[in-house]
Amino acid sequence: MQSIMTGFLILLLAINSIMVFQLRDMKRTDIIRHLRYMALGVAGIIVPEMVILLTKDRQIAYYAFTFYYIALAWYAMMIFRFSVSYSGYQLFKVYKSPFVWITVIESAVLIWGMFSERVFTIAHAKWYDHIYWICRGFSMFYVYAIVSSIFLIGAVVVLMIAATQSPRIYRLKYSGVAIIIALMVISRLNSQIRQQPILVQVIGFAFGEIVIVYMAVHYAPKKLNQRAMQFVADKLNDGIVLYDDEHQLQFVTTGYSDAVGFKGIQGISNEEMYWTKIISGANVGNAWNGRVMSVARDDDTYYYEIQHMALNEDGKLIGTVYWIRNVTESIKSYGEMVCRANFDELTGIYNEAHFHEMARKLLEENPDTDFVMTCSSVEKFRVFKELFGQEKYDDYLIRTAESLRTGLVHIPHCVYGRIGEADFYIMMPKEAFDPQQFLDAIDGVANAYSTNNFNLIVKAGVYEITEPLQDMLAICNKASMACDSIKGDYGKQILWFDENIQKESLLKERYNAELSTAIEHGEIQIYLQPQVDREGKVIGAEALARWVHREDGLIPPAYFIPFFEMNGRITELDICIWKQACEKLKEWKEKGRDDLHISVNISAKDLYALDIYEHYVSLVKEFGIDTKNLKLEITESAIINDLKQHAHLVERLQEAGFEVEMDDFGSAYSSFNMLKDICVDVLKIDMKFLGDTENEERSHAILKSIVDLSGELHMKTIAEGVETEEQFEFLKGVGCDIYQGYYFSKPMSVADFEAKYL
Ligand code: C2E
Ligand code: CA
Ligand code: CA
């Protein structure tokens, strides 16, 4: 028991020492000085008590008692002096020496008693089954005890007077300390009168000191904070509303009703999260509904700039603050100029400049937080616009912005904006970023705009901002590079940026910059892949683009075609390829080989960028070739995009004598269904769409029925990607007309082709 108590006292001593240590750093006011002395006094009390608890030696115990009472005398006197200066009474400063002298005399008496044992005596006594040293005083001791109690009682009285004279919010500050000291006195008298060990009072004194330091130094009345806050808030003309975690109104500025322009503030406590509703339910048809949004009231429109902040602690929401500024005047008088500078007019969220600015600010203000930048972007948005019109497209953008607003409202430190035509950027703390949730949100909006004919696909790139100091444009670019690099890739919807993406993207940029000169210098060339009939006789070839780069050598189309399809420059390239094909056909014709045809690829983009019909008609005229020798491959997916219009184009091309092939037939969803609306001359089936299936029987059955069906619809079939003899034999068996693939030959340069087949 003794050792447990000693341990406990050591703990109190430690807390006490830490407090003294902390006080050392504070400004040296009288109060702080007194508190430090008091803390020393407590140490002077605890140490002898530990000796008393542990020793069996009566003499040592007696000395320890003496030191204990001396320390107690000084402690009591210091408490008194502390209370006086704490209460703000200057008067006693002048008379401080008498108190010191009284304590000196007390100490002297006790020291004298140490040798004569005439002040008190000690003896063993049992208390709660344990043996303790206890002290019995003689008359001299009572004089001493009364004097030191007077100090303590005096302290209580001074503090109580101060409490009654001070404003209400400060009462606890004084009366609290007074009560603590009163409890000390009571515990002291109690153990003295009932002849108990001094343990209880030591603990009381030590605790008392801790509470007093807290009250005097650290405690600031809560009401004072609130009053200060109210004071500041009242000075503002803005409305600030604070809700707690249960959406209960906690605080509102008096300026609120003026700021908001409503008649009175009644009702806002009932209208739970009134502003959240406005933010999330904002009528997006209005021009200024983002961070600045309009609210129609009393036949008038008000504009508010609303800042919204979720207060979090340990990742949990503890409250929400809305800072509402009525910007109606400025918006109306400045002709909405201010907002126009910062907000995207269509969606009401940040525009590029303001997004960059706010994101930069966020990074600077939170240097210890890891952030991610995301970029999300619609694939083929021009096609979407072409198909559904500007209005529908705008509607999609507005809906996306709206979903950002509602989805991100509770994520602290998050900014978002619309940049460019179709890209949305979000910057948020990495720990708040959930990729799946993010994609679900994106798809949620996009799916609503997809139809049978067009899938609205949104791709996303994410960049973890590892170097927050780099330019904001560079940060955004990295997210955007990651996003762009998966456009056209059906398997991927989101990609995190890494160095390779940057390299690849720089390479593409380079190719993009070099394309025109490459075309001029003849670096873009056709390679020919033979097409054979049932007997294996070459009857023509498909023209496939190759870039014979002066530095990088032969570049296969996979490196540049998808990219040029994306940015629209494919048309430039295709025109060049078609021309080369026509040149070749002309040459062959002159050599008497007009039995050979060349198939060229037409990209989906070409269908929008060019008048294909006009272009081809004038091409054959220019080169004096026969339309039947130039075959046109259009991919199934390109045709599906706008079936009606393309069916018409195909018809006209056929009337002019061209043979139109539907490339990659079977790769899209509704291949068969489409055939009722469009009539091409040839279906081109790529073996890879069937080749890898586990069930060979089934794919054979499908192939067979495609060939049968095409026969019934008076279309021919080409099988491409034929790699093995078995494939060839099977295809022959089902009645396929033309074959192309590595089994016969890889694509080869024109020179090689001519050497071999001409
Ligand atoms: P595509 O039109 O489906 O062309 C067939 C692709 O399959 C060619 O790839 C060809 O080399 C390859 N191939 C041929 N036989 C076999 C085989 O037996 N097995 C396998 N695994 N592959 C075979 P390439 O030349 O790399 O072209 C890829 C794609 O690039 C083409 O697919 C086409 O969509 C596009 N492309 C190529 N040249 C042009 C062009 O001039 N204009 C346009 N718009 N696109 C082009
Ligand atoms: Ca093709
Ligand atoms: Ca193909």
Distance CA 628, CA 653 (A): 11
Distant-in-sequence, close-in-space partners of 199: CB < 8 Å, separation ≥ 6: 5, 49, 53, 132
Q: Is the CB of 561 under 6 A from ligand 1?
A: yes
**Chain mean position to CA 755:** 61
Distance CA 216, CA 505 (A): 64
How many CB atoms within 10 Å of residue 202? 26
pLDDT at 285: 28
Q: Is the CB of 601 under 6 A from ligand 1?
A: yes
H-run or E-run covering 584: helix 570-590
pLDDT at 641: 76
Distant-in-sequence, close-in-space partners of 648: CB < 8 Å, separation ≥ 6: none
Distance CA 545, CA 269 (A): 69
Burial 674-692 (b: 16+ CB within 10 A, else e): bbeebebbbbbbbbebbee
Asked whether the beta carbons of 385 and 608 are under 8 A apart, the reply is no
pTM, 2 dp: 0.53
Concatenated DSSP letters of 313-364: ETTEEEEEEEEEEE-HHHHHHTTTHHHHHHB-TTT-SB-HHHHHHHHHHHHH
Smallest Cα–Cα separation from 347: which of 271, 413, 399?
399
pLDDT at 272: 41
Name the burial class of residue 329, with classes exposed (0-12), middle (13-18) and buried (19+) by CB atoms within 10 angstroms of its CB.
Answer: exposed
Distance CA 529, CA 600 (A): 11
Distance CA 189, CA 83 (A): 20
What ligand is nearest to the CA atom of residue 531?
A: 1
Q: Is the CB of 742 under 6 A from ligand 1?
A: yes
Instruction: Choose one of 489, 532, 561 to mutate for the ligand 1 pocket test, by most ligand atoms within 8 angstroms of C-beta.
Output: 561
CA of 472 to the centre of ligand 2 (A): 42
H-run or E-run covering 460: strand 458-464
Q: Tokens representing 681?
A: 């001359």
Distance CA 583, CA 726 (A): 36
Atom of ligand 1 at shortest distance to CA of 742? 18
Smallest Cα–Cα separation from 292: which of 278, 312, 306?
306
CA of 233 to the centre of ligand 3 (A): 69
Packing angle, helices 2-24 and 199-213, rounded to 10: 20
H-run or E-run covering 147: helix 139-165
Distant-in-sequence, close-in-space partners of 4: CB < 8 Å, separation ≥ 6: none
Distant-in-sequence, close-in-space partners of 504: CB < 8 Å, separation ≥ 6: 485
Closest residue by CA, ligand 1 atom 8: 544
Packing angle, helices 96-116 and 139-165, rounded to 10: 150
pLDDT at 341: 76
**Chain mean position to CA 319:** 19
pLDDT at 687: 84
Q: Tokens representing 500?
A: 């390779």
Q: Is the CB of 685 under 6 A from ligand 1?
A: no
Q: Is the CB of 587 under 6 A from ligand 1?
A: no
Smallest Cα–Cα separation from 242: which of 290, 291, 309, 304?
309
Distance CA 702, CA 724 (A): 19
How many CB atoms within 10 Å of residue 162? 22
Instruction: Choose one of 523, 526, 542, 544 to mutate for the ligand 1 pocket test, by most ligand atoms within 8 angstroms of C-beta.
Output: 544
Q: Tokens representing 318?
A: 């503890």
Asked whether the beta carbons of 67 and 46 are under 8 A apart, the reply is no
Q: Is the CB of 603 under 6 A from ligand 1?
A: yes
Concatenated DSSP letters of 707-748: HHHHHHTT-EEEEE---SHHHHHHHHHHT--EE-STTT---E
Asked whether the beta carbons of 476 and 377 are under 8 A apart, the reply is no
pLDDT at 289: 31
Count of residues in the chain: 758
Distance CA 541, CA 280 (A): 59
What counts of helices (H) and strands (E) characterise the chain? 30, 22
Q: Where are the beta strands (DSSP E) in 67-117?
A: none
Are β-strands 597-602 and 630-635 bridged in parallel, bridged antiparallel, or unpaired? parallel
Q: Classify 271 as helix, strand or coil.
A: coil
Average pLDDT of adjacent 10-residue blocks, the chain of 758 residues = 83 85 71 86 91 89 93 92 83 69 91 87 83 85 89 92 83 88 88 81 87 80 71 74 73 68 47 51 32 62 71 76 74 61 86 94 94 94 83 93 88 92 94 94 91 86 95 95 86 93 89 96 97 96 97 92 90 97 97 96 94 96 96 90 88 96 82 85 87 74 90 94 94 96 97 95
Atom of ligand 1 at shortest distance to CA of 526? 41
**Chain mean position to CA 465:** 11
Distance CA 453, CA 735 (A): 31
Q: Classify 552 as helix, strand or coil.
A: coil
Closest residue by CA, ligand 1 atom 25: 544
